[in-house]
Amino acid sequence: MRAEDIEKLKCLNVFRGVKENTFQRAIAPSFLQSFPAGTILLEENRPADFLYIVLDGLVEMSSSATGDETVIEILGPVNLFILAAVLNNDICLQSARTLTPARILMIPANLIRELLAEDHDFMKAVVFELASAYRRTVKELKNQKLRSGAERLANWLLREERSQGGEGRLTIPYEKRILAAYLGMTAENLSRGFSALSAHGVNIKGLQVDIVDIGKLIDYARPSPLIDDGEPRLPRD
């Protein structure tokens, strides 16, 4: 593992303030693997044998029922997934698939559970990670229940613009059909959503989006810190 990877891992909430020994024991027996785009990392309804950490690339968390499929979350570096299933020693509620070539660290689930019992600081970091994940999911639920498709798109654009530097433009980092599934709409409806937003300060060309009048877009989207702002990645104390 590269020194640069170690640095990345230490940025994770879940390793913050953790004993060096715990950290070393966690990564020593773990697999660092590179996967091509489109690899299925795990499928829902399977036991969670590893905790996964994305070091590079994008991973889509999805779920399906009766033919329909939806995207729950899309993770970039550095993020972890299926922590809750690992802790509960339970099956996964979501499938995971790489959207781009990706480098992923896989830590054996029982090792995580061992370390949890041994290192109080690790446990504390896990508590904050879970609390944040929970709050993010509640926000997503509100997003789905309280807003229309076009509103969800508008707010996603605002969030993405900010995280891509706040320069008034952004690049959609994956296929539009995936964005559509994440936003809870069909690809067709996403297209129409973009057309509708052209009246509210948004120009789109391919995957390139220009927000020509951000005030107008904000007026339309009505973003709320109770729905949109990401949970702080650092626990305050």
Which residue among 49, 114, 140, 210 contacts its own copies (CB under 8 A)?
Answer: 140
Nearer to DNA, 52 or 220 (CB): 220
- Cα–Cα distance between 108 and 27 in angstroms, integer? 9
Provide the 8-state DSSP code for 13: G
Strand (E) positions, the chain?
A: 31-35, 40-42, 50-56, 59-65, 68-75, 79-81, 95-98, 102-108, 169-171, 202-205, 208-211
Total site size for DNA, rule CB under 7 A: 20
Nearer to its own copies, 5 or 231 (CB): 231
End-to-end CA, the chain: 32
Residue 192 interface partner, choices its own copies, DNA, none, CB cut-off 5-8 Å depending on type? DNA
Q: Give 211's Cβ-side CA count (13 Å radius).
A: 27
37 binds its own copies (CB under 8 A): no
Residue 165 interface partner, choices its own copies, DNA, none, CB cut-off 5-8 Å depending on type? none
DSSP-assigned beta bridge partners for residue 203: 210
- Cα–Cα distance between 117 and 113 in angstroms, integer? 7
235 binds its own copies (CB under 8 A): yes
Residue 187 interface partner, choices its own copies, DNA, none, CB cut-off 5-8 Å depending on type? DNA
> What minimum distance in Å lies between the beta carbon of 176 and DNA?
4
| Sign of CA pseudo-dihedral 161, 162, 168, 173 | negative
Residue 138 interface partner, choices its own copies, DNA, none, CB cut-off 5-8 Å depending on type? its own copies
Rounded to whole angstroms, what are the CA distances from 99 to 37, 167, 214? 5, 25, 29
Which residue among 21, 24, 88, 198 contacts its own copies (CB under 8 A)?
Answer: 88
Nearer to its own copies, 14 or 102 (CB): 14
- Cα–Cα distance between 111 and 130 in angstroms, integer? 18
| Of residues 130-159, those binding DNA (CB under 7 A) | 148-150
Which residue among 100, 191, 203, 224 contacts DNA (CB under 7 A)?
Answer: 191
Q: Give 30's Cβ-side CA count (13 Å radius).
A: 26
Which residues of the shown chain bind DNA in the complex (CB under 7 A)? 148-150, 175-177, 184-192, 194-195, 204, 206-207
Which residues of the shown chain bind its own copies in the complex (CB under 8 A)? 44-45, 63-66, 68, 70, 72, 83-85, 87-91, 93-94, 116-117, 120, 123-124, 126-128, 130-135, 137-142, 144-147, 184, 222, 224-227, 231-232, 235-237
